């Protein structure tokens, strides 16, 4: 019988195939604000928050000029970027709106608040913040009571 994975295990980074490196960097660096930590010419770049070696890798090694996968194909559903607090998520929303990037959705899940959008290569992107565990909704038996309700964007922007 398999044992559980260590509870402090985390996903460290994501590496995306993109069609146009400059366009992808304009989104992840220019709009979302990730710092460029390293660049490999015109083929790849690595970006991070807070000085980490990289949270996001972007490359055109197999995808230069390519198109997104068609509907019905397997692949990445979305990348989820966790913000430390509500004010930081509100700042991300302001950046996205200022860049004219449409939202696919915005949800309150009880345990988190999330914004959904697409990057320039049509990859799904979730920008979210977790509520403190003490605020998570729970059923009478103590299990989580997660849900999906519309997120009040005006209230978020006022944060």
- Report the pLDDT averaged over residues 23-44: 97
Residues 21 and 57 in one domain: yes
What is the number of structural domains in the chain? 2
- Cβ atoms 66, 93 nearer than 8 A: no
- Domain span at residue 127? 77-159
State pTM to two decimals: 0.92
Residues 50 and 84 in one domain: no
Q: Does the CA dihedral 58-60-64-69 come out positive or negative?
A: negative
Residue 34 domain flag: yes
Residue 137 domain flag: yes
Residues 82 and 31 in one domain: no
Give the CATH number, domain containing residue 47: 3.10.180.10
Residues 36 and 101 in one domain: no
Residue finishing a domain among 64, 85, 102: 64
Q: Can you tell me the distance from the alpha carbon of 142 to that of 84, in angstroms, rounded to the nearest whole number?
A: 25
Pair of tokens at residue 109: 């899940």
Residues 82 and 126 in one domain: yes
Using DSSP, state whether 99 is helix, strand or coil: coil
Residues 34 and 84 in one domain: no
Residues 46 and 92 in one domain: no
Residues 44 and 116 in one domain: no
Q: For the range 42-47, what are the long-range contacts, defined as Cβ-Cβ under 8 Å and sequence gap of 24 or more? A: 45/21
pLDDT tens-place string over residues 65-121: 999 999 999 999 999 999 999 999 999 999 999 999 999 999 999 999 999 999 999
Residue 57 domain flag: yes
Beta-carbon count within 10 A of 138 CB: 12
Would you state the pLDDT for residue 87? Answer: 97
pLDDT tens-place string over residues 37-50: 999 999 999 999 99
């Amino acid at each position: 019988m398999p044992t559980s994975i260590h509870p402090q295990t985390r996903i460290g980074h994501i590496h995306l195939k993109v069609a146009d490196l400059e366009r992808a960097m304009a989104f992840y660096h220019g709009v979302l604000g990730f710092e460029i930590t390293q660049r490999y010419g015109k083929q790849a770049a690595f970006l991070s928050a807070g000085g980490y070696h990289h949270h996001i890798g972007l490359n055109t090694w197999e995808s230069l000029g390519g198109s997104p996968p068609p509907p019905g194909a397997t692949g990445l559903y979305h990348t989820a970027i966790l913000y430390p607090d509500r004010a930081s998520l509100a700042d991300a929303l302001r950046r996205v709106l200022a860049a004219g990037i449409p939202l696919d959705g915005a949800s309150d899940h009880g345990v988190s608040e999330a914004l959904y959008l697409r990057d320039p290569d049509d990859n799904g992107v979730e920008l979210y913040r977790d509520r403190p565990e003490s605020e998570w909704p729970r059923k009478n038996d103590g299990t989580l009571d997660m849900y999906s309700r519309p997120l009040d964007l005006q209230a978020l922007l006022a944060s």
